[in-house]
Chains A and B, each alone.
Chain A
């Protein structure tokens, strides 16, 4: 199953590595990543991370929420979408 994670991150050193690493360690393979700092949001990163995995995505979301640089995360199932 493919999922898109919509993440908002504090622009802190290591924030990107933390979320990508978390996805991989928890059994989700990163397939695509886009995003950039948003000046209107205080320079926070708005990131879309597409992952592929068989485990419950809600569990990954809750784990992402524990990352201190992660302001918010939302998950959307991408059934049938090839990333």
Chain B
């Protein structure tokens, strides 16, 4: 490649936009160039922005997504019009459903060509209407200052989410010398919870004998982790967490009962089913968390605190609704309950007993690698502030169950959309956001292949991402459901023709080794974590392994299976007599 021409970018819309991104605090963005976004890429040559060239636009959207999840900052991705824009869609939808702040910039055909079926013209504005917080088709360069200011404000404020700026090529090249320098818009603070509602919540909690806190992703989004920990320490209220709430309390916290729901802990699900007051903090009664909704927490009065008023009483009517800032609401509760209420002592003891009694066991029979034990050990060997990203499927649930997180932002998981292929680009984005921390990707052989091209990006940037690839040569979660709920009629789940993953990684220039036996786990993990650069550990696991416990779909959370009731095979040590 020759050095760029010494000419500077003209003061056009594209140049103004790169300067505005810098003013917004953007340092890194992920993208892929193409025809209609070329003026923007020309302007990048003269900007301070670090652009990461991915190998597929979905990788750009998911990398920006992972960057934002790990850092709490806005993630930015860029693509050209047409297929470039449509390839972003899954990453944008993923951000929308998990409330991840992103600004997505797409090139568009010049305004005179809009609506003419021009080459690579696609109505991405219309295509993404249901999956963005807001979007703009910028028809005049004079609109850029307003649109960019609103875009970053909307992405950040309230419940965060993705926004889209569709930018026609003629707007990018239009003269912008008359536009003022960009000044970021102030983000309004979350609304203060109403005092009357808080008083009502406190009154309900004061009479509770068996309260449970149900904490969700809104704890991290609302910057309420410290407040939650202080409140739980003071009040002693047993706490369950959603998939996205994991880490709000450290896993070892004495009042943490772990994750609730379909693959939650027995202690968590039993507590929720028995409680008399359910204090919902930044959670939304997702069906994977509640099981059969009408039988969820059947004895509980519900106090629901959420920054997004829409979520309150959407699925379960709240007895006390407290819309507003979750952190401030928790501080008010803490002030009201500076010590554990005495009448709740038997309940606290019962929950603590369940926590011990139903704790996961790792003494599984056999010599094959037992994935839960490997993940527990990975969590123990890696630094405490390690970011662990995962993909979607059985391994995702094992990560949630057996890895230990000390902050929700250290756990990158596609919660609501369940995006296979999320993990590799998300880990890449997280490593850019946290260059001095260990970033681990735990993936499965199905998910891994969905964005495997980003190994090139990792290698090119020498990102020291550590990859643990759990390989059961099948689509494990689909196979598990076919085994349990479709009479073992296995349909299109065989991946036994996977490539040689070690050879594959090496082709990309990434160090890789394979382990097959339990005795190799310790050495394999230690070697992986000791690698200075990117590395992959290919782990062969039992193709018949299932995720337990399991609440069957449309069933109350009190029904937790530890093994397949149709067979005598006992897969987990928790299914064995103690």
Contacts and interface: CB of A to CB of B under 8 A. Distances in A.
Interface of A: 13-14, 17-18, 21, 25, 56, 59, 62-63, 65-66, 68-69
Interface in B100-137: 125-126, 129-130, 133-137
A51 B455 CA distance: 49
B541 to A, nearest CB: 39
Contacts of A17: 126, 129
A41 B176 CA distance: 31
Interface of B: 125-126, 129-130, 133-137, 154, 308-310, 313-314
Contacts of A68: 133-134, 154
A36 B130 CA distance: 24
Nearest to A60: B310
A25 B135 contact: no
A14 B422 CA distance: 30
Given A14-B135, A68-B134, A68-B154, A62 B129 contact: no
A13 B164 CA distance: 13
A53 to B, nearest CB: 14
Contacts of A14: 125-126, 129, 135, 137
B137 A13 contact: yes
27 contacts: A13-B125, A13-B136, A13-B137, A14-B125, A14-B126, A14-B129, A14-B135, A14-B137, A17-B126, A17-B129, A18-B129, A21-B129, A21-B130, A25-B130, A56-B313, A59-B310, A59-B313, A59-B314, A62-B309, A62-B310, A63-B310, A65-B310, A66-B308, A68-B133, A68-B134, A68-B154, A69-B134
A65 B314 CA distance: 14
Nearest to B310: A62
A interface: dominant SS = helix
A14 B127 CA distance: 11
A81 to B, nearest CB: 26
A31 B80 CA distance: 38
A21 B135 CA distance: 15
A13 B165 CA distance: 13
A66 B129 contact: no
B28 to A, nearest CB: 27
A48 B49 CA distance: 46
A73 B130 CA distance: 19
A63 B159 CA distance: 13
Nearest to A59: B314
B310 A66 contact: yes
Contacts of B135: 14
A18 B130 CA distance: 8
Among B137, B308, B310: residue with most chain A CB under 10 A: B310
Given A56-B313, A59-B313, 5 more contacts: A13-B125, A21-B129, A25-B130, A66-B308, A68-B154
Contacts of A65: 310
A17 B134 CA distance: 12
Contacts of A69: 134
A74 B481 CA distance: 44
A39 to B, nearest CB: 22
Nearest to A62: B310
Among B134, B135, B136: residue with most chain A CB under 10 A: B134
A40 to B, nearest CB: 24
Contacts of A59: 310, 313-314
A6 to B, nearest CB: 19
> Nearest 6 A-B pairs (CB), nearest first?
A62-B310, A68-B134, A63-B310, A59-B314, A62-B309, A13-B137
A65 B398 CA distance: 38
A21 B309 CA distance: 20
Contacts of B129: 14, 17-18, 21
